[in-house]
């Protein structure tokens, strides 16, 4: 039986970016140039650098999700192609078996010489032998016809599988190209951010750090306000529930009356498991395209956390935002997913009190942060 060797579809790792695109380079250069290097052009303020770096990191996040989607498509397509090639190999083996059977029938016909029954009768040792052999030939003819039908069916099936595999390989090549382009795009944005940050003096970097801390503090205040509103809503709901219950005689009450509306026990248990997993990842580095266990990007972390709870989420933020029930910010519960920016390029897991666990950006680590640190797009409660 001929052996089948699968074609190599291993993706070549794109070479590290040695520069940045023309548009990104121009943008960074305009901000990076000092007043002394370009007469008449003022040096960008630290606030301008902060806005530009934040925007570059956001763009890198978007490019990362594009990369994640391309990688998922590439992996799926490679699996399909490998499956088709395996089917072609098995079909070819069956076709060869059928071809050998047809060859044995042809050899039998050659040995009989295609002689007429009357001549065969005359040459037969005895009439009974002729009739036995003639009956056998009729049976062989029927099997031959079936073998021919099987041969044609198998050959047509293999031809279709080969055509499907060819198209699959073409799609795989396109996916690999998209993967390489996505990787280059991420590297471009990150290189631009590093270049821009490299233009800052030590004093300017300290100023930038102070601005970042101010931004985080404002976000924490908003988180505290949300936590207060949620607590007030919880107490109001408890009071309304208690008001519906008839009064009990002294000493006969047995319930606590503290229902919080947190969903079914099954949903609460899953959310608790997802949160527990996410907490265990705090301190691990952000790496774009990573899904654990030693590092994560934002959607890789939320996918892994909910998988630990027995819930399969899609790979990208763009698909995760569709995988559940939309909820308002005021109605967030622990375990819910909060998405950010108009392009839905970032996601974190809500933990309560206006806070979340997320994998922020390159150079940072999985951490707790206010959900108001970035502009909120919307929130989803996974199924």
Q: Which residues are catalytic?
A: 298, 346, 358
Tokens of 128: 């009974």
Closest CA to 180 of 71, 107, 303: 71
Residue 379 near residue 329, CB atoms below 8 Å: yes
Closest CA to 108 of 150, 131, 136: 136
Residue 287 near residue 304, CB atoms below 8 Å: no
Edge-first strand listing for the sheet containing 346-352: 324-327, 376-382, 337-340, 346-352, 355-358, 367-370
Question: 101 Cβ partners below 8 Å, 6+ apart?
Answer: 147
Q: How far is CA 351 from CA 154, 189, 244, 274, 345, in A?
A: 58, 30, 31, 10, 20
Q: How far is CA 147 from CA 94, 101, 135, 358, 361, in A?
A: 11, 7, 19, 63, 63
Question: 186 Cβ partners below 8 Å, 6+ apart?
Answer: 60, 63, 64, 67, 288, 289
Own/partner contacts of 306-311, CB < 8 Å, gap of 24 or more, are 306/270, 306/274, 306/382, 308/273, 308/274, 308/276, 308/277, 309/269, 309/270, 309/271, 309/272, 309/273, 309/274, 309/277, 310/270, 310/273, 311/270, 311/274, 311/382, 311/383
């Amino acid at each position: 039986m001929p052996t089948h060797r699968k074609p190599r579809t291993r993706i070549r790792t794109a070479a590290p970016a040695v520069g940045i695109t023309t548009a990104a380079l121009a943008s960074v250069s305009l901000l990076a140039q000092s007043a002394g290097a370009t007469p008449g052009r003022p040096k960008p303020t630290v606030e301008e650098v902060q806005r530009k770096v934040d925007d570059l990191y956001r763009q890198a996040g978007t490019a990362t999700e594009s990369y994640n989607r391309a990688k998922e498509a590439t992996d799926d397509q490679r699996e399909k192609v490998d499956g088709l090639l395996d089917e072609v190999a098995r079909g070819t083996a069956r076709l060869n078996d059928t071809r050998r059977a047809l060859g044995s029938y042809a050899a039998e016909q050659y040995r009989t010489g295609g002689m007429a029954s009357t001549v065969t009768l005359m040459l037969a040792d005895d009439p009974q032998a002729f009739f036995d052999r003639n009956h056998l030939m009729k049976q062989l003819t029927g099997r031959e016809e079936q073998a021919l039908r099987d041969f044609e069916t198998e050959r047509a099936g293999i031809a279709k599988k080969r055509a499907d595999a060819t198209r699959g390989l073409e799609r795989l090549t396109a996916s690999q190209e998209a993967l390489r382009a996505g990787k280059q795009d991420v590297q471009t944005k990150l290189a631009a951010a590093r270049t821009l940050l490299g233009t800052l003096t030590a004093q300017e970097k300290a100023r930038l750090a102070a601005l970042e801390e101010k931004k985080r503090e404002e976000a924490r205040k908003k988180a505290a306000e949300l936590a207060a509103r949620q607590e007030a809503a919880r107490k109001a709901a408890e009071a309304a529930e208690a008001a519906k219950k008839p009064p009990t005689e002294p000493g006969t009450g047995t319930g606590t009356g503290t229902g919080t509306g947190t969903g079914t026990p099954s949903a609460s248990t899953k959310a608790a498991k997802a949160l527990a997993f996410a907490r265990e990842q705090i301190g691990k580095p952000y790496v774009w395209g990573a899904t654990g266990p030693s590092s994560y990007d934002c959607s890789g972390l939320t996918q892994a956390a909910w998988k630990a709870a027995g819930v399969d989420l899609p790979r990208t933020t763009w698909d995760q935002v569709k995988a559940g029930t939309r909820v308002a910010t005021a109605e967030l519960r622990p375990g819910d997913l909060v998405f950010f920016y108009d392009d839905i390029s970032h996601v974190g897991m809500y933990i309560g009190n206006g806070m979340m666990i997320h994998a922020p950006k390159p150079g940072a680590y999985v951490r707790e942060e206010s959900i108001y640190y970035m502009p909120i797009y919307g929130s989803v409660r996974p199924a």
